[in-house]
Structure 1
Amino acid sequence: MNLVSRFFSRAGAAALACCAGALLLLLPMMAAQAADVRWAASWAAAPQDYQQLPPPLRTAPPEALAASGAQTLRERLLPTLGGRRVRIRFSNVFGKVPLHIAAASVARSTGGAAVSPATLRQLQFGGRTDITLAPGAEAWSDAARLSLEPGQAAAVSFEVGAPTSFATVHHLPPDATWVLPGRAVMRTSWRDAAPSPWNHVVTGLDVASATTPRVVVAFGDSITEGVGGRDAQGQPGSYPDQLATRLRGQPGGRTSFAVINAGIAGNRLLADRIGPGGIARFERDALGQSGVTHVLILIGINDLLFGQSPGLAEGGKPLPETPGVEQITAGLQQLIRQARDKGVKVLLGTLLPFKGMPEPYWSEEREARRQAVNRWIRGRQDVEAVVDFDAALRDPADPAALNPLYDSGDHLHPSHAGYAAMAGAVDPQELRE
């Protein structure tokens, strides 16, 4: 070896040793940074047990989606908090048999069942491309590099085999879930995909955050989920949706917000009927969201509405006796206590009017109980704030009824404008603290 070769050989060895030393110094720093990753919920859905839904709601049996051969589902989600890395939660919490997800991906949605090719990322689970969820189990994917802005739709696709019986679901608009035969998680454009009204298995999207955003979980029933709130173009407009938009538009605000909709239409506080009762699911659906800082509770109206009244029976079995004021307020107090024990701040919403619904749903006696519950709510000193939805939406000429400007037409659910008024009743300052 000549002199020049020996020089470069020694120089290369020295450089390699220097790089190796630098890498050894960087590894602890990289590990510390990975350990410091803070995940924050950006979108979530409150899961339901499909088999426990009343028959009128089981209109499109999920079992039929994977009747023969592999099937791929694509679900459109609307994140409320932006980030550069995401992870996706898959759930078999109500499953009775293992659920095998053969492959999965995430991308930006470009409308319908199509996604942006440049953003399509295959998901992994502990370094593997597939995962089997045991009955009752949930799992997060590994982090995937995907830049999302608040309000920018994402699409999660996953492949299952046949037969696959779906048990863990959430009702979504018909333009939010699609099903395609075959293996299609990495295909960008889906032709002839069949729509489904159900969200299957996917229950959460988190983003990695370098700061500490405010994660607000709106917890409730159909009035939280947003029934009746579509605008003139048919777009959904629940009060959590409109609150998220309002918070993003705050002038000069340095605080970032996520607003998670944990509403289930028909849900009760005290009893299982459509979805687990509020008390039963609060720990998972509200306090279990990543980085949760605030919870806005609005639930109890269905406990007043559904009781042992004539014509109200399921399969010939009478519904549970309508609870009294003390039972409803004790249930709300339990939720407040659970949240405060976890260091989560509580905003408590008053129950909206529903006069105008036909008997046996509305009566003077039920109105008296609603008013009593609201008096109890307004007197709370153990919550951060009371959001007086009742005062914001009631008819000035008849406070037992919704303002006609805010009524969707059924005298129970607000219209799009009504949900905007609900979002406007929330003081952003209460969410910054």
Structure 2
Amino acid sequence: MLFTEDFLHYIWKFRLFDRDNLQTTGGENIEIQSAGMHNTDSGPDFGNARIKIGDTTWAGNVELHLLSSDWAKHNHTNDKAYNNVILHVVYRDDEPVTLANGRHIPTLELKERIPDELYNRYHKLIYGNQTVIPCEASIGKLDDFTLRTWFTRILIERLEKKSTAVIAALEVNRGDWEETFYQFLAANFGFKTNAVPFELMAKSLPQNILAKHKNNPLQIETLIFGQAGFLSGDFTDEYPKKLKTEYEFLRKKFSLTPIDNHLWKFMRMRPLNFPTVRLAQFAALVVNSNHLFSKILDIKDVKSLQKLFTDIKVNAYWDEHYQFDKPSKPTSKNMGPASADLLLLNTLALFLFSYGKYNQQQYFIDRSLKLLENLPGEHNNIIADFNDLGVKANSAFETQALLELKNYYCNYKKCLQCSVGNKILKLA
């Protein structure tokens, strides 16, 4: 048989082996009262098990290996963490196991007790010739309850992982949620392609400097474009000339250092996504949204959150420009609903979750999940593939869960840790 130790763990955890007339390799009867709690950290594989061996009921740990000789190979003999192992469960017993103190560990061999049907389903799932995901032939047939319950769990996993970066940044910013939110929001204004320069610009321009000029939109625009490195050239138009003159004064006043202009990317981008347009939108947002994160904590409905971004009006100069000194046909440069939804998904939902987790307030965690339920799902190749397999996703809640499923479970064939994989393996 071809399988990994994880499969053995799975079989033991759910008792999916023939349990009739269980005996140790030494001939003692075994009664499994509790298989124990699965341990994914260092130490024995299952803890707090209760197993009756012969006439004695033992409480302790269970260790699993493909071969009993793996005990020595893994250096468990002299490891005190394994002194409380009460049963060694192996696929094949090829040598007895004895601890350093001379105690012999009872062994249960499963070689003849694993159902062929279970193994065949496992082998097809893990070693099959699938093109998209391991369970592509079955996932579309699963009941909706199993899928949705698993979606909720892995979406929370996804948010918890992402929130670690938020909490780390919060510590750097000395607990300042507004500054931390401002930095992450700026990065997401770059929409992947220009996320790094946007973030660097925001970190080079703290909110307390912008707050000093909250009643002067031109100075806000000056600081943002200046720190982004776009005011170092010579200009023809009056608007960038004003920005440059103003920036020369403000730069000296606050001892500012702009980021390298060459970090920004324009190639193969739609003009509406040019970093200059996004910076103009970001400046308009800063002008109109003082203490933005505090507002977000208070606003509960999605439409009002969307309007924080779609209702901002960029400087009229950008109606006829995509870049400085390069006139274009008149086009509104205000943010559209699709871009606003991406910011709600990638920034607002994450920060509501992180804030709730950090302050142990379930209310904000629930609001984060509710926000994702009310946002439209993303459209990309991964979501399209799942759709072709019969898994429909309409909300950002569902598409975010599918991205987590594909990237952190399916790609690594973690089917035994996945509720979908578990369900398929147990199907008759």
TM-score for the superposition, normalised by structure 2 = 0.23
The structure with the greater share of residues assigned to strand is 1
TM-score for the superposition, normalised by structure 1 = 0.23
Which structure: larger Rg?
2
The structure with the greater share of residues assigned to helix is 2
